[in-house]
Amino acid sequence: MIENPSPGRRRFLKLAGGFTAVVALSATFLSRAVAALPHLSASTNPTAKALHYTDDASEAVVHHPPMQHCMMCQHYKGHMGETWGPCEIFPGYDVNAKGWCSAYKARESMMHMMHMKP
Ligand code: SF4
């Protein structure tokens, strides 16, 4: 049988619960901050320049279909709703979800949904 905790013990349990929540939230924010990578730039990265990378697909110097941007690319590993995310072609950097480069490859699932060819 469980005894009713004393007021002092109840207060301690509340404080311990609050402390645990604060530690869990801090760990979440810290892991996201650590996971963020430097943003890719064609002005400083020779590979990005060679592949005509741009943060804004609508400003790409190479003509491409309008629906092509990093978020729709098979190489993009960012999460839905985030502005920047990692790309397999540019390890160590985040690319813009609305960006584009000439290594673009349509996601299989997108091609299936849109009845497009790669
Ligand atoms: S390979 Fe795909 S995700 Fe990576 S920069 Fe080029 S278009 Fe964006």
Q: What is the DSSP string of the chain?
A: -PPPPPHHHHHHHHHHHHHHHHHHHHHHHHHHHHH--PBP-TTT-HHHHHTT-BSSGGG-SS---TT--GGGBTTB-PPTT-SEEEBTTSTT-EEETT-B-TT--B-HHHHHHHT---
Domain shared by 61 and 99, yes or no: yes
What is the predicted pLDDT for the residue at 12? 62
What is the predicted pLDDT for the residue at 108? 86
Pocket of ligand 1 (CB under 6 A): 53, 70, 73, 75-76, 87, 89, 95, 99-101, 103-104
What is the predicted pLDDT for the residue at 14? 72
Q: Give the pLDDT of the chain (118 residues) as one tens digit per residue.
A: 556 667 776 676 676 665 555 545 455 544 455 568 999 999 999 999 999 999 999 999 999 998 999 999 999 999 999 999 999 999 999 999 999 999 999 998 765 555 555 5
Cα-to-centroid distance, 45 and ligand 1 (Å): 14
Domain shared by 30 and 42, yes or no: no
What is the predicted pLDDT for the residue at 18? 58
Structure tokens at 29: 């924010």
Atom of ligand 1 nearest to the CA of 99: 8
What is the predicted pLDDT for the residue at 44? 97
Domain shared by 65 and 98, yes or no: yes
Phi/psi for 87 (5° steps) reads -135, 135
Cα-to-centroid distance, 81 and ligand 1 (Å): 17
Domain shared by 66 and 102, yes or no: yes
* Domain count along the chain: 2
Residue of 45, 58, 75 to test ligand 1 pocket, by largest number of atoms within 8 Å of CB: 75
Domain shared by 90 and 105, yes or no: yes
Domain shared by 43 and 59, yes or no: yes
pTM of the model: 0.69
